[in-house]
Structure 1
Amino acid sequence: MRPTGGSVASFLTGVTPAKRRRDAEALTALLQEVSGREPELWGTIVGLGSCHYRYPTGTEGDMPLLAFAPRKAASTLYLESTAAHADDLARLGPHSTGVGCLYIKDLEEIDLDVLRGILTASLRWAESGGDEHAVLTVTG
């Protein structure tokens, strides 16, 4: 995966429904605050920073350090693992999870300080090089 060079502002303008667009704009600002990086489009994903990953299996590629995708059903935030944030997720507010995805239907219903902590921890994990499951090298 690589940045596609599209306009983040134009992409966000086209997000529907209106609540998801509102959340996407707020998430973009929050991820910028946490990472100190500018958002880029990676297809339909808004990513900040970049890294190269390599799994013990030899699979490797590139991905954003922090990222989210505004989908119709929910905003999807991409994390290294939701299990790593179990205690914080219990305090977050209404959400659902996948192995590495956090799904939020309404940003106004969650605790933004808790979300900020989760994102900060996820960024630190990536910037520190990952772990035995994925070795990461920050590239941007």
Structure 2
Amino acid sequence: MAEIKTKAAAVSVDDFLEAVEHPVRRADGKAVRAMMERVTGEPATMWGPTIIGFGSYHYKYASGHEGDMCRIGFSPRSASLTLYVGGFPEYDGMLARLGKHKRSKACLYINKLADVDVALLEEIVTRTWMTSADVDHCTVC
């Protein structure tokens, strides 16, 4: 079985964020970090080389694949700010009001925070954090 690359890393979150080239993405990353720390009460931790995560949980699939992952996280990627907030169907109505974004099963992609309702985004993050305590599968892997 291949080694899991996305695991908690002893890398400075501050250094990682300071190294983000795009100034808006860097500032938005710092703002999302502060919001997620406030919502979760957990310190930011690097997971792999590019994910900033909060909290952790252990998952195990029927196939035997298992590991540990952050309960919630984000990454200030070059194309967008990617938030790992799960694929919960009850978010459909909230996402319709969020503002300019894209999504996949477990990710929310935002070009810049100025494009979205930040208070609504915080509500989504809060709900994900509260709901993720009961999740037994990895939505980030």
> Of the candidates 46, 49, 55, which is equivalent to residue 49 of structure 1?
55
Counterparts of 1:20-99 in structure 2, within 5 Å, are 20-42=25-47, 43-81=49-87, 83-99=89-105
Give the distance between the partners of 1:20 and 1:84, measured in 2 at CA.
28
**Map of 2:7 onto structure 1:** 2
Give the distance between the partners of 1:47 and 1:4, measured in 2 at CA.
10
Give the distance between the partners of 1:79 and 1:86, measured in 2 at CA.
13
State the secondary structure of the residue aligned to 2:100.
coil
- Does the 8 Å CA contact 1:83/1:99 hold for their aligned counterparts? no
TM-score by length of 2: 0.86
Give the CA RMSD over aligned residues.
Answer: 1.6
Give the AA of the match of 2:131: W
**Map of 2:113 onto structure 1:** 107
TM-score by length of 1: 0.87
- Does the 8 Å CA contact 1:50/1:62 hold for their aligned counterparts? yes
| Between structures 1 and 2, the one with greater strand share | 1
Which runs of no fewer than 5 residues in structure 1 stay unpaired? Answer: 136-140
Give the AA of the match of 1:117: E
Q: Render the CA deviation track for 1:44-101: whole Å, top value 9, x for unaligned.
A: 1101111112234443221111100111110000122153411110111100001111
Which runs of no fewer than 5 residues in structure 2 stay unpaired? Answer: 1-5
Does residue 18 of the first structure (1) align with residue 23 of the second (2)?
yes
Give the distance between the partners of 1:37 and 1:55, measured in 2 at CA.
26
1:22 offset after TM fit, Å?
Answer: 0.7
- Does the 8 Å CA contact 1:79/1:102 hold for their aligned counterparts? yes
Which segments of structure 1 move beyond 4 Å, counting only runs of 4 or more? Answer: none
Distance 1:123 1:89, change over 3 A: same
- Does the 8 Å CA contact 1:80/1:122 hold for their aligned counterparts? yes
Q: Percent identity?
A: 37
